[in-house]
Structure 1
């Protein structure tokens, strides 16, 4: 009997997982079921099997990354999906039964690791975003939007869905000619440039990534909007001390996940200080369903050090301290899963280039990251929130009709 049998027999009930041990022995777990994948994995060493038993999440990732676990039938997306589908969050299922002490230890590690003072925040950004723009060009859309797309139709291309996302967000900002807009965590500049094209606004995009900054500036020049769109390498906290009350509109897409729970109140205080009296903020962030939690060890170590996915409750509670009014909340449930599957397919299509550039271990790590994220949005406890805030209750129209009208106009363009 495999050392993994007690563990896997508790998890895999539907779908079929076949495990081939280093000596060729085979064991099957689960039973075929509609919609559930059938996957076969082979271990090249017993050490790999022990790593998973000792630390199922991080151990599985590193065993796959190191080539000690190979996919014979199916791929890593199907394997991770099979496991997560057998323990869906919305049915109260748990992937792993951890003791209170283990859960508390993960919580403490997450909180300490996400304190994210300025120097640490810069280092964390460099870890993920300064590994080279070439990698991101290979799997993102043409505009290099590295966040959840918006899929009003399932048959859209990734490029269309990302353009729709930008129109969706722009409509919620209630833009008007002459406004000053701040984009916190501007990425490679796509959102800032788009806003300037949609309306005659001035946009400042800020980032902590040297790679993103250089390309964003080039793209603004190429788009002919460099006179109204500028980019700066600066922490939002430092900007708040310098530019109090300057911005009519603030947008932040996919950056709040890097703030860290200990800094949530600091973030909203900075935003409130940066806004005019009639200012509006649109915050687009990954969020966890249910209450606060912790960041898994694989993500902390390899993907987003210092990162933390917030619960809606703790996000809103932190904003209340700065007297920001929540004027609209939208929950995007499966939109990121659709986006991630597109990124995963493009990553696989460019395996040779990525492996040559970053190495085979990195390629497998990246695939595991995208597969795990996809399963978290399809069956786990993750979704996306778009939260609109205002400083004044009079800052926006009383009904949402203005959003619908503006989004139709922007999408048509």
Structure 2
């Protein structure tokens, strides 16, 4: 192993058990020997040099190209050691902090997501074969953070719970209109239409997702209630009772946050409600992972709450509720990784070995970031009026329980409604007339 990389690893890895075999076959060990062991083999001098100067990008690239193998511990184990020896925002080693600092400084240049560029970015990821996603997603093809009431839930159960959780926060009523920004393969929009008797318009920039979602609406006989369009949200002009956006805001880009929330404010009716579900950071703003930005989500960015809230305030929208989902996405990614591993040969038949190694690294590294770094999920509820929703959150839990009973087969024919005096928006208190005695 070259002297510089060895000194870096000695400086970086204080906890854990890391063993490294270099291109000459020499084995070096790092850490205090605690935890599950991880053993990697850096097979070429080229990979060793690249890892020395830019490990956050070079390690996944070397793994994709077969220049680095993980002999013990897997990608998740390697990322656990890396992240547990890091600060929450970056690596303690000065050389890597400088690289990541530059990426953070230039992040706005990487996120000039115009309408045409946004479409190209989406095509890079979401227009991959639908068969690939069917290999590891749930039956409804929900490609976002699930909601785990308990850890022994299946991915299908947890994704169903996620739809109930989001629906309850929208406080839907029959006959309302709903806009789904970034509708994916249509599962949430179809669920809302069937469950609440509402009309849904979903928009996406992915031709693959649009085709699948449209076919699903026709197959379920909902083409008159749910309409999916291949359209940028910036080109929508109607107004809606409800707006929901799940897993799309990560692709907006920090330069366009004001545009996004200003547009949502104009699309939402005066008494409307919006629910934004997005990956976020519990820590300070930081750069997108170089590997994720280059190979998985070009133009993507994970915001800190401090970057989002001020823009919402300027748009005139009112933040009525914020929930932070911790570790839910780690569990989601864990289930996806397990399913992908089972179906790896099928994925390889669709693409190739390099793609499979890239996808394995993406899923495992993402799980690690949610377990051991500062990634979380935000669910932000928004309105235009302070009195558009009840004064307490009781209506959410009541609706969620009713939906769960319905999904379990109880009261199957009963419509789910969030109407009722107990769930009505708070009314101004009646003033008492004060009289003298």
Q: Describe the SS at the equivalent of 1:139.
A: coil
Matches within 5 A, 1:11-30: 11-30=12-31
1:49-97 deviation digits (Å, cap 9, x = unpaired): 11100211111111111111111112112111221122252xx874543
Establish whether residue 226 from structure 1 lines up as the match of residue 223 from structure 2.
yes
| Contact persistence 2:91–2:97 (CA under 8 A) | no
Q: Which has the larger radius of gyration?
A: 2
**Aligned-residue offset at 1:46:** 1.7
C-alpha RMSD of matched pairs (Å): 1.5
Question: 2: CA distance between counterparts of 1:160 and 1:66?
Answer: 36
- Tell me the residue number matched to 1:117: 114
Other structure's SS at 1:145 match: coil
Mapped to 2, the partners of 1:39 and 1:45 lie a distance apart of: 19
| Counterpart residue number, 2:157 | 160
Number of aligned pairs?
405
Indicate which of 247, 254, 257 corresponds to 1:261.
254
Match of 2:37 in 1: 38
* Aligned equivalents of 1:114, 1:292: Cα separation in 2: 14
Residue pair 1:179, 1:248 contacting (<8 A) in 2 also: yes
1:236 to 210, 233, 237: 233
Tell me how far apart the structure 2 counterparts of residues 353 and 101 of structure 1 sit (CA, whole Å): 40
Q: How far is the alpha carbon of 1:166 from its aligned partner?
A: 0.4
Structure 1: how far apart are the matches of 2:2 and 2:289?
Answer: 26
The CA distance in 2 between the partners of 1:98 and 1:275, in whole Å, is 47
User: For residues 324 and 96 of structure 1, do their structure 2 counterparts lie closer, same or farther at Cα, with a shift above 3 Å needed?
Assistant: farther
**Residue 409, structure 1, aligned to residue 402, structure 2:** yes
Rounded to whole Å, the distance in 1 between the matches of 2:266 and 2:297 is: 28
**8 Å contact 1:37–1:82 — kept in the other structure?**
no
> Which range is displaced more, 207-216 or 316-325?
316-325
Q: Give the TM-score normalised by the residue count of structure 2.
A: 0.90
Structure 1 residue 291, shift from structure 2 partner = 2.3
Residue 217 of structure 1: CA displacement? 0.7
Are the structure 2 counterparts of residues 313 and 350 from structure 1 closer, same or farther at C-alpha, using a change threshold of 3 Å? same
Structure 2 partner of 1:330: 323
Give the Å deviation of 1:13: 1.8
What is the TM-score normalised by the length of structure 1? 0.95
| Structure 1 residue 98, shift from structure 2 partner | 5.0
Indicate which of 330, 343, 346 corresponds to 1:350.
343
Residue 191 of structure 1 and its aligned partner are, at CA, apart by: 0.5
| 1:247 Cα deviation after fit | 0.3
In structure 1, stretches of 5+ residues that fail to align are none
Secondary structure of 1:321's match? helix
In the alignment, which residue of structure 1 is the partner of 2:201?
A: 204
Q: Which residue of 2 is the match for residue 86 of structure 1?
A: 85
Residues 5 and 107 of structure 1, relative CA distance in 2, 3 Å threshold:
same
Whether the 8 Å contact between 1:80 and 1:372 is mirrored in structure 2 is yes
